[in-house]
Structure 1
Amino acid sequence: MSEQSRFMLVVSPLMENSPAFDRAAALAKAADAALHIVAFDYLEGLATAGLVNEQALEQMRVGYVERHRQWLEDQARPLRKLGVHVTTEVVWVANPLKEILIHLKEQPMAAMIKALEHESALSRLMFTPLDVHLLRECPVPLHFVSHVLHALPRRIVAAVDPFHRDGRYAGLNDRILREAAKLASICNAQLDVIYAHDLSSIGAAEFGFDNASAFFSSNAAKKLFDAQGEAFRDLAERNDIPAENQHMILGDPAKVLSSYADAYDVDLIVMGRVAHRGIGRLVGSTVEHLLYKMPCSVWVVAPESLEG
């Protein structure tokens, strides 16, 4: 990354520290990049308090924002001593998603970093969390930080799907590997590439079979497996991934990636985002499976075009 690169760290409005601070600082230091820390404040109780007049409410809001600004400066001070160029900002806004996207448009960033906010399954059924909205709409690489073992990642995995049948995403796997390789180089980390393929997700009708059992008992499944393997090797080789770091594993992608990350103490998984029937998702599985069940942090790469 160039000297002009900047990372944006989005932090909680509650003045809470998190591992995302350490990860953002470590990445910025290793990449020789600047770090912009921003909090999008909006406290419902403070914003709608009905027992005081509007002037008093405004003074309370201004006071809270100023306290938060000073708190961010306190967090930034030790990072600056490490040689990281850090700027801070606090914005009072009811719709953080819209403001984040405006910031990213007006202030180009190499990546956005944010602590993953774990939501219950019931909560996700009731409304769409900010993290999922960001995953669908963020135009730059998006790093959700959770389960941090090392501030600077030591083991990175790139998850690819070279057999994706939607031509709109033909170049996404190469982008994932380029991004992962760049991160691995910055962090001096080991990089492995995984293609978790799930034949059960393929409709037998696509291959002229009336039922799945006929498909899997035929040579068609073997031919498909061989074709997938060839596509995966071609992808890895043209991106200079050594054979010993290539892993093609049969199984549900979410389970494969989660098990691999847990077994090998993976710090970070780099994945691509694709549009699927109008619903934001990641290559190979659902947002919920991959975001909320992974035992490590994730780095999400968007396609060249966000339309889909």
Structure 2
Amino acid sequence: MEKYQKILAVIDPTTEEQKALKRAVELAKKTGAMITAFLSIYDFSYEMTTMLSSDEREAMRQSLINDRIQWLNDIIDSIDHQDLTIDSKVIWHNRPFEPIIEQVLKHQYDIVIKGTHQHDKLKSVIFTPTDWHILRKCPCPVLLVKEHSWPINGNIVAALNVGSDESEHQSLNVKITEEAIHLSKLILANIHLVNSFPGTPVNIAIEIPEFNASEYNDSMFNHHKEAMAKHAQSYSIGEEHTHVVEGLPEDVIENLSNELDAELVILGTVGRTGISAALIGNTAEHVIDRLNCDVLALKPDGYVSPMAE
């Protein structure tokens, strides 16, 4: 059974260029998935017109929704999607991420695909609050799409945490690797596993003169290298496709994905709730901010969205 049977493609109301929908079609052509093109709209001025009765307001809202459905259907018609089913759905809501996650919870979508915006001058990607909310709270995988294409024989980078004994990290490593293998077969790409590890904390080296920093670094490197080799072997991934590098994850992953001109980076967002959800194991957010390719963010097994409660 193919994994991605139901795709929710988030439509960007500010542009005709719908990267997420195009990527969804690209994926669905390989998996036969059904796609829902989903748009959430809101116009504050419609809520403020006290002159209007609630019926009149509702009628104005509905005409705006109908107008957007027509616009969306025209966009769908302009994309080559023969033999694929694409439904459109437009909802009036003032917080765009909420209806997206509600749709996932209600209709069991397998993946959410959303485009990101590029800052014209800085050429870096701007993440909106909506993007972060979806990454933190969406129970299914989230694919954030940039301008990069997915050529055959490209590269997928799977960002792991193999040095950790925590069961959540270990099960996430399995999930990320299996996802990379699955997608590499779909889009005919090569897999690279990457793991960063921290160097010597500076304060230790200063406070304890006899502390041997290079010995410490060597043993850290060896520990991660062995863990990576064991993990890669269990999936028959060759050593030349594994990368263990000292440094911050955001630097290591960014450098490797640039070096390989990767199409896609797959990483885990450790699903926390409460206060720490605001800091989703923030490694993921720092990494995502810096990447110039698509990012697929996965949650650990058993993650429950705070919006499901």
User: TM above 0.5, one fold?
Assistant: yes
Q: Which amino acid aligns with 1:227?
A: H
Q: Which amino acid aligns with 1:278?
A: S
Query: CA contact under 8 A between 2:3 and 2:110: conserved in structure 1?
Result: no
Matched residues in 1 for 2:215 and 2:133: separation?
42
Residue 259 (str. 1) matches residue 255 (str. 2): yes
Using the size of structure 2 for normalisation, the TM-score is 0.84
Matched residues in 1 for 2:201 and 2:297: separation?
23
- In structure 2, the CA distance between the partners of 1:213 and 1:233, relative to structure 1 (3 Å rule), is farther
Query: CA contact under 8 A between 2:7 and 2:24: conserved in structure 1?
Result: yes
Query: CA contact under 8 A between 1:111 and 1:142: conserved in structure 2?
Result: yes
Q: Which amino acid aligns with 2:112?
A: M
* Distance apart, 1:170 and its partner CA: 2.4
Alignment-derived partner of residue 62 in structure 2: 62
Alignment-derived partner of residue 267 in structure 2: 271
Matched residues in 2 for 1:233 and 1:246: separation?
8
Alignment-derived partner of residue 237 in structure 1: 233
Query: CA-to-partner distance for each residue in 1:46-67, whole Å, 9 max, x for gaps?
Result: 3334565544432221111111
Query: CA contact under 8 A between 1:115 and 1:145: conserved in structure 2?
Result: yes
Q: Of 285, 294, 297, which residue of structure 2 is paired with 1:297?
A: 294
- In structure 2, the CA distance between the partners of 1:138 and 1:270, relative to structure 1 (3 Å rule), is same
Query: CA contact under 8 A between 2:16 and 2:75: conserved in structure 1?
Result: no
Structure 1, 188-197 or 264-273: larger mean CA deviation: 188-197
Alignment-derived partner of residue 194 in structure 2: 194
Query: CA contact under 8 A between 1:23 and 1:151: conserved in structure 2?
Result: no
- In structure 2, the CA distance between the partners of 1:77 and 1:263, relative to structure 1 (3 Å rule), is same
* Distance apart, 1:274 and its partner CA: 1.0
Query: CA contact under 8 A between 2:149 and 2:263: conserved in structure 1?
Result: yes
Matched residues in 1 for 2:47 and 2:201: separation?
48
Question: How many corresponding residue pairs?
Answer: 297
Query: CA contact under 8 A between 2:180 and 2:266: conserved in structure 1?
Result: yes
- In structure 2, the CA distance between the partners of 1:284 and 1:109, relative to structure 1 (3 Å rule), is same
Query: CA contact under 8 A between 2:267 and 2:284: conserved in structure 1?
Result: no
Alignment-derived partner of residue 46 in structure 2: 46
Query: CA-to-partner distance for each residue in 1:257-287, whole Å, 9 max, x for gaps?
Result: 1122223221110001114671356778251
Matched residues in 2 for 1:201 and 1:305: separation?
34
Structure 1, 145-154 or 227-236: larger mean CA deviation: 145-154
Structure 1, 66-75 or 278-287: larger mean CA deviation: 278-287
Identity in percent: 23
Q: How does 1:1-308 map to 2 (within 5 A)?
A: 2=2, 5-14=5-14, 16-50=16-50, 52-79=52-79, 81-117=81-117, 129-150=129-150, 154-200=154-200, 211=207, 214-217=210-213, 219-275=215-271, 278-279=276-277, 285-287=283-285, 289-306=286-303
Unaligned runs of 5+ in 2: 120-126
Query: CA contact under 8 A between 2:193 and 2:243: conserved in structure 1?
Result: yes
**SS at 1:199's partner residue?**
coil
* Distance apart, 1:89 and its partner CA: 0.7
- Cα RMSD of the aligned pairs, angstroms, is 3.1
Query: CA contact under 8 A between 2:161 and 2:169: conserved in structure 1?
Result: no
Structure 1, 276-285 or 159-168: larger mean CA deviation: 276-285
**SS at 1:274's partner residue?**
coil
Q: Which amino acid aligns with 1:285?
A: T
Using the size of structure 1 for normalisation, the TM-score is 0.84
**SS at 2:147's partner residue?**
coil
Query: CA contact under 8 A between 2:148 and 2:292: conserved in structure 1?
Result: no
Structure 1, 271-280 or 297-306: larger mean CA deviation: 271-280
Matched residues in 2 for 1:152 and 1:41: separation?
36
Matched residues in 2 for 1:9 and 1:166: separation?
33
Matched residues in 2 for 1:158 and 1:258: separation?
12
Q: Which amino acid aligns with 1:256?
A: V
Unaligned runs of 5+ in 1: 120-126
Matched residues in 2 for 1:136 and 1:152: separation?
31
* Distance apart, 1:85 and its partner CA: 1.6
Q: Which amino acid aligns with 1:96?
A: P
**SS at 2:301's partner residue?**
coil
Query: CA contact under 8 A between 1:9 and 1:35: conserved in structure 2?
Result: yes
